[in-house]
Chain A
Amino acid sequence: DQQVKQNSPSLSVQEGRISILNCDYTNSMFDYFLWYKKYPAEGPTFLISISSIKDKNEDGRFTVFLNKSAKHLSLHIVPSQPGDSAVYFCAASGNAGGTSYGKLTFGQGTILTVHP
């Protein structure tokens, strides 16, 4: 049961343009969402997060949007740079603290390639 889905295995964009990575979830109990970035031969690194009480969170070139009614979140990267080429994972948790003990449910990942 894939509760977090990234339906696009890959995305290719030109340098300077916008990259939009999408993520859908099915569990309405999820209330905290994160994006991780992963380079080859490295572990994932935290990128940006959003709580379900917000619909947008911005950090520099990265913005995450959350649409709770559609159970959909997206990561926008503007402008995209070749160094952004990596695998991007979205992740979700059912409890921002409390008893969830930090367990995350990850999507399958989207490979982003930014061409110079």
Chain B
Amino acid sequence: DSGVTQTPKHLITATGQRVTLRCSPRSGDLSVYWYQQSLDQGLQFLIQYYNGEERAKGNILERFSAQQFPDLHSELNLSSLELGDSALYFCASSAGGPSFFYTFGSGTRLTVV
């Protein structure tokens, strides 16, 4: 157990639907990062939050949004889902501010049918 909890582990939904992925960072970590791993692709950076504030944004689609709550857990909202959104979504956390020494969760596998 890495200390970063992601729920649900698996999610199957239909095109056009909306889902919410949840991440609880490791205790004490203030930064949360979301990454998407599609088939045969590396992890693509989506967005980062630090202590409730958005700090960096990657190639995140407009249909996707995220937030970090006062208790530091984070949610990634995916709407108007398309088949191409099927992927593994990873959350990672790190202590303090900018840091590359992530602790990753085990991911949420999203399948859009």
Residues of A within 8 A of B31 (CB): 101-102
A43-B42 CB under 8 A given contacts A49-B100, A97-B98, A103-B58: no
**Considering the chains assembled together, what is the distance between the CA atoms of A38 and B4 in angstroms?**
15
Q: List 25 A-B contacts (CB under 8 A).
A: A2-B42, A4-B42, A34-B100, A41-B106, A42-B2, A43-B103, A43-B106, A44-B104, A45-B2, A45-B104, A89-B42, A97-B98, A101-B55, A101-B97, A102-B33, A102-B56, A102-B94, A102-B100, A102-B102, A103-B33, A103-B45, A103-B56, A104-B45, A106-B35, A107-B42
Contact of A44 among B45, B90, B100 (CB under 8 A): B90
Q: Separation in Å of the B2 CB from the closest CB of chain A? A: 6
Contact of A46 among B33, B45, B101, B105 (CB under 8 A): B101
Q: Which of A21-75 contact B (CB under 8 A)?
A: 32, 34, 36, 41-46, 49
Contact of A89 among B4, B43, B92, B105 (CB under 8 A): B43
**Considering the chains assembled together, what is the distance between the CA atoms of A81 and B85 in angstroms?**
36
Residues of B within 8 A of A106 (CB): 35, 42-44
Which chain A residue shows the least CB distance to B96?
A102
Q: Total interface residues on B, using CB and 8 Å?
A: 30
Contact between B105 and A43 (Cβ–Cβ < 8 Å)? yes
Q: Determine the main DSSP class of A at the interface with B.
A: loop
**Considering the chains assembled together, what is the distance between the CA atoms of A5 and B97 in angstroms?**
27
Instruction: Report if B71 contacts A (CB, 8 A).
Output: no
Contact of A101 among B41, B48, B92, B104 (CB under 8 A): B48
Which chain A residue shows the least CB distance to B33?
A102
Chain A, residues 93-104, CB within 8 Å of chain B (1/0): the string is 101111111111
Q: Which of B1-59 contact A (CB under 8 A)?
A: 2, 4, 31, 33, 35, 40-45, 48, 50, 55-56, 58
Which chain A residue shows the least CB distance to B35?
A106
Residues of B within 8 A of A4 (CB): 42
**Considering the chains assembled together, what is the distance between the CA atoms of A106 and B37 in angstroms?**
10
Which chain A residue shows the least CB distance to B50?
A101
Contact between A103 and B104 (Cβ–Cβ < 8 Å)? no
Contact between B48 and A103 (Cβ–Cβ < 8 Å)? yes
Q: Separation in Å of the A39 CB from the closest CB of chain B? A: 10
